[in-house]
């Protein structure tokens, strides 16, 4: 029998693997998640699998029906817009606190993260995002660096979760160019406003960046 510790470890591994498969679009919205098939795919038993599914449900990536079991959460334009709206509200709080309280180390993190992002080529001829590319990793690091001066780990955690859920929607998009390079200019403008400690401008730019990308994805993705 599995020990409690080993079961928890397996549950974490399965959670991360399934989370990546859902976020990267390998398991599509609405796809039924049959327990036996999942056990075969991920090579685990009932206990860690059930724990992983429970965690994915709490993250909004899996839905459970009393009669139909588990399935991948549906994707809709309405939910995407709700995610963008919520992300704008929450990241405004985190960004304003970072600008007000962030020290030189925070400024350095923002500069380094932006430099790495700007030096990383975005793959051509792909969907908007195709898995965990180097560009996507740098993109994530930049947005997290912006709010890393915030002292609330809970708030940063919410921001990171919403970022992942936005990533899922971008992976469902069929767009083949990232807004014609406009995002690159937007990232630079956000970075400049943040380092200038201009909170109002930085927040306005960040919100506009989220909303513009959300609008493109909502138009191009196959959503309910």
Average pLDDT in the 114-131 region? 70
pLDDT at 95: 98
Averaged pLDDT score across all residues of the chain: 87
Average pLDDT in the 10-25 region? 90
103 pLDDT tier (thresholds 50, 70, 90) = very high
127 pLDDT tier (thresholds 50, 70, 90) = very low
Which region among 58-72, 85-99, 131-145, 164-178 has the lowest average model confidence (pLDDT)? 164-178
pTM for this prediction:
0.81
pLDDT at 224: 65
CATH code of the domain occupying 4-72: 1.10.10.10
Instruction: Enumerate the domain spans of the chain.
Output: 4-72, 77-220
pLDDT at 7 over 90: no
pLDDT at 205: 97
**Residue written as token pair 């459970």:** 64
Q: What is the DSSP string of 10-37?
A: HHHHHHHHHHHHHHTTSS-TT-EE-HHH
pLDDT at 210 over 60: yes
pLDDT at 147 over 80: yes
Fold of 77-220: 1.20.120
Token pair for 57: 């449900």
For residue 157, the surrounding DSSP H or E stretch is helix 153-171
**Same fold for the pair 4-72 and 77-220:** no
């Amino acid at each position: 029998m599995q020990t409690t510790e080993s079961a928890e470890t397996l549950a974490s591994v399965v959670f991360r693997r399934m989370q990546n498969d859902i976020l990267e679009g390998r398991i599509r919205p609405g796809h039924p998640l049959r327990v036996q098939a999942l056990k075969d795919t991920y090579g685990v038993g009932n206990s860690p699998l059930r724990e992983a599914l429970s965690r994915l449900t709490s993250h909004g990536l899996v839905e459970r029906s009393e009669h139909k079991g588990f399935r991948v959460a549906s994707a809709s334009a309405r939910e995407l817009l709700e995610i963008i709206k919520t992300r704008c509200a929450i990241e405004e709080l985190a960004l304003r606190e970072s600008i007000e309280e962030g020290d030189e180390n925070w400024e350095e993190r923002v500069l380094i993260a932006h430099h790495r992002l700007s030096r990383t080529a975005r793959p051509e001829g792909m969907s908007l995002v195709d898995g965990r590319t180097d560009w996507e990793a740098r993109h994530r690091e930049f947005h997290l660096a912006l709010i890393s001066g915030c002292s609330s780990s809970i708030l940063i955690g919410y921001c990171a979760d919403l970022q992942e859920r936005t990533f899922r929607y971008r992976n469902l998009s069929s767009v083949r160019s990232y807004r014609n390079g406009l995002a690159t200019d937007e990232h630079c403008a956000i970075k400049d406003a943040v380092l200038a400690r201009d909170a109002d401008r930085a927040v306005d730019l960040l919100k506009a960046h989220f909303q513009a990308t959300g609008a493109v994805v909502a138009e191009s993705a196959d959503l309910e």
